[in-house]
Amino acid sequence: MLAGAAVAVILSYGVWRLTEGVESARHAMRAETEDETVSGPDGNSIDLSDSQLAAVKVEPVEERDFPVEKPAVGSIDFDEEMAVQVFTPYQGRIIALYASLGDDVKKGQTLFTVDSPDLLQAESTLISAAGVMDLTTRNLARLRELYKTLAVSQHDVEQATSDQQTAEGNLRAARDEVRIFGKSDAEIDRIVAQRTADPTLVVTSPIDGRVTARDAAPGLLVQPGSAPAPYTVANIDVMWMLAQVPESDSPTFRVGQEVQVTLDAFPGRTFDGKISAIGATVDPNTRRVLVRSEIKDPQHELRSGMFANFVIRVGQPVRSPAVPLSGVVREGDGTQTVWVTADRRRFTKRTVKIGIQHDDYRQILQGLQAGELSATEGAIFLSNMLAIAQTKVKPPHRDRRR
C-alpha cells in the first residue's frame, strides 16, 4: 500500500513538472516572439517591437542652411603696423625706468630717462646764445640813445643792429635744437632764465598701447637705432591672426571676408574679424599661403602666440536636407548611412553622401530627401539590431564529412 502510494505521488509530481516546463517554454517563446527583431527580405530592413521603438526617435527630414566655410589653424600676434620700438634719439646712459613689461601706457607717457651729453651740449649752446642776445640787445639800445646826441656814428648803430639780429637768429636756432630733444617752450624758458643745463633726456611712448618688450636697465648705454630697443610698445586694441592655408584653398579667400576665431583659452567664445592681407607667394616647402586677419580686442584679452582655430566664410550659405549627428552612422567600410521609415515600425538602412557639419547637423548631399521620415536618435541601436538579426538568420553549418 505504502509503495503504491509513493509511486502515485512520484508520478503526479513528474506530470506537474512536465506541465510547468511546457508552460514556461511557451511563455518564453511568446515573449521572444513579441520582442524579436525581424530582418526584412532585402537584408537592410528591420521591424521593431513596441518596446524597442522606445529607443528610437523619428522625425521628418528638414532643409537647413549650411554656410560655405573654410577651416584653418593659426596663431595670434601683435599688429606689427602698430608696434613701435622705442629708441633714444641720442646716445646716453639710462637713468631711470618708468614702465614695466605688460604695463598699459598712454601716448606721451615717460618710459625712461637718459643722461645725454648731446642734450647737455645743446642746452649749453642755448644758454650762451641767450647771453649773447641779451648783450647785443643792450648794446643796440645804448648806441641808439647815443646816436640821438650824435655821440656815435650811424655805422656803429647799423653794426650793433646786425650783431643783435645775428644773436637773435642764433638764439632761435639754439631753442629749436633743444626742442628736438623733447623739451617744451616752458622748459626752455626755465633753462634760459635759470642759466642751468639739465642733461636728463626724457623718452616717451609715441602711441597708446602695452609694453610688450623691455630690454633696458639703469646705467645701460643706449644709442639711436641700436638693437635691441629699450622698449617695444604695441597697440593691442586690434590683434593679428596669422594662418597658413593650403594652396588649393587660397583662391577662395578675399580681403575683407569675415573671420570667426575660437581659442582654447576661451572655450565657448567666438572672436570676429576680417581678412586684412593675403600673402603674395606660396611657401615652396609647405605649399601654403599666409592669410592675415585683424581681430578687434577692446578688452585686451588676447595674447601673442595663442593657438587659434579659424573659420572663414568663402561663399553664400547652401540649403540642403539635414540630419542630426546622432542620426548618421559610419559603417565599417567607411560609408555613411541613415535609417528611414514609412510606418514608424519598419526601418530601412540607406547609404547617403554627407557634406558640411554645422550646429550639430550633418548636410545630406545625396540619398535622402526633405520630408522623408528618418531616425534622428537610436540609429546606432538600429544598426546593432540589424547585425543581430542577420546573425540569427544565417544557415547552420553542415558537416560535409560523411
**pLDDT per residue over 202-249, tens digit each?**
899 999 999 999 999 999 999 898 889 999 999 988 999 999 888 888
Query: Are residues 250 and 298 located together in one domain of the fold?
Result: yes
Average pLDDT in the chain? 83
Question: Domain end: 271, 297, 317, which one?
Answer: 317
Query: Are residues 175 and 185 located together in one domain of the fold?
Result: yes
CATH number for the domain that contains residue 312? 2.40.30.170
Whether the per-residue pLDDT at 348 is higher than 80: the answer is yes
Query: Are residues 210 and 107 located together in one domain of the fold?
Result: yes
**17 falls in which pLDDT band (50, 70, 90)?**
very low
Is 59 part of any domain?
Answer: yes
Gap between the Cα atoms of 399 and 146, Å rounded: 147
Q: What is the pLDDT of residue 172?
A: 92
Is 399 part of any domain?
Answer: no
CATH number for the domain that contains residue 95? 2.40.50.100
Is 16 part of any domain?
Answer: no
Whether the per-residue pLDDT at 108 is higher than 50: the answer is yes
Q: What is the pLDDT of residue 42?
A: 59
Query: Are residues 383 and 273 located together in one domain of the fold?
Result: no
Query: Are residues 372 and 346 located together in one domain of the fold?
Result: yes
Provide, rounded to the nearest whole percent, the portion of the chain with pLDDT above 90: 36
**311 falls in which pLDDT band (50, 70, 90)?**
confident
Q: What residue type is assigned to position 94 of the chain?
A: I
The separation between CA 158 and the C-alpha centre of its own chain, rounded to angstroms, equals: 73
Query: Are residues 54 and 174 located together in one domain of the fold?
Result: no
Among 17, 233, 248, smallest CA distance to 108 is for 233
**339 falls in which pLDDT band (50, 70, 90)?**
very high
Question: Domain end: 136, 168, 195, which one?
Answer: 195
Q: What is the pLDDT of residue 12?
A: 52
Contacts of 241 (CB under 8 A, 6+ apart): 74, 75, 76, 77, 259, 261, 273, 292, 293, 294, 295, 308, 310
**39 falls in which pLDDT band (50, 70, 90)?**
low
Is 11 part of any domain?
Answer: no
The three grid cell numbers given for residue 189, joined into one nine-digit string: 624758458
User: Among the listed ranges 62-71, 94-103, 291-300, 323-332, which one has the minimum average pLDDT value?
Assistant: 62-71
| Bond from prior residue into 228 cis (ω within 30 degrees of 0) | yes
Q: What is the pLDDT of residue 112?
A: 94
Query: Are residues 255 and 230 located together in one domain of the fold?
Result: no
Is 261 part of any domain?
Answer: yes
Query: Are residues 260 and 362 located together in one domain of the fold?
Result: no
Parallel/antiparallel/unpaired status of strands 373-377 and 57-60: antiparallel
Query: Are residues 239 and 313 located together in one domain of the fold?
Result: yes
CATH number for the domain that contains residue 154? 1.10.287
Query: Are residues 57 and 176 located together in one domain of the fold?
Result: no
Query: Are residues 97 and 212 located together in one domain of the fold?
Result: yes
Domain of 255 in residue numbering reads as 70-80+235-317
Is 2 part of any domain?
Answer: no
Helical ranges in 340-393 per DSSP H: 379-392
Q: What is the pLDDT of residue 20?
A: 44
Question: Domain end: 171, 195, 219, which one?
Answer: 195
Whether the per-residue pLDDT at 16 is higher than 70: the answer is no
Q: What is the pLDDT of residue 19?
A: 44
CATH number for the domain that contains residue 364? 2.40.420.20
Is 370 part of any domain?
Answer: yes
Whether the per-residue pLDDT at 322 is higher than 90: the answer is yes
CA dihedral defined by 112, 114, 118, 121, rounded to 10 degrees? 110
Is 398 part of any domain?
Answer: no
Distances in whole angstroms, Cα of residue 101 to Cα of each of 75, 230, 381: 21, 11, 58
Q: What residue type is assigned to position 17 of the chain?
A: R
Q: Express each pLDDT in 156-208 by its tens digit.
A: 888 989 988 999 899 999 999 888 888 888 888 888 888 888 888 889 999 99
- The total number of structural domains that make up the chain: 4
**28 falls in which pLDDT band (50, 70, 90)?**
very low
Within 10 angstroms of residue 114's Cβ, the number of other Cβ atoms is: 27
Q: What is the pLDDT of residue 398?
A: 53
Q: What is the pLDDT of residue 10?
A: 42
Name which residue leads in pLDDT, 262 or 27. Answer: 262
Within 10 angstroms of residue 78's Cβ, the number of other Cβ atoms is: 21
Query: Are residues 304 and 185 located together in one domain of the fold?
Result: no
Gap between the Cα atoms of 320 and 368, Å rounded: 10
Query: Reading across the β-sheet that carries 200-204, which strands appear in turn?
Result: 200-204, 110-115, 92-97, 221-222
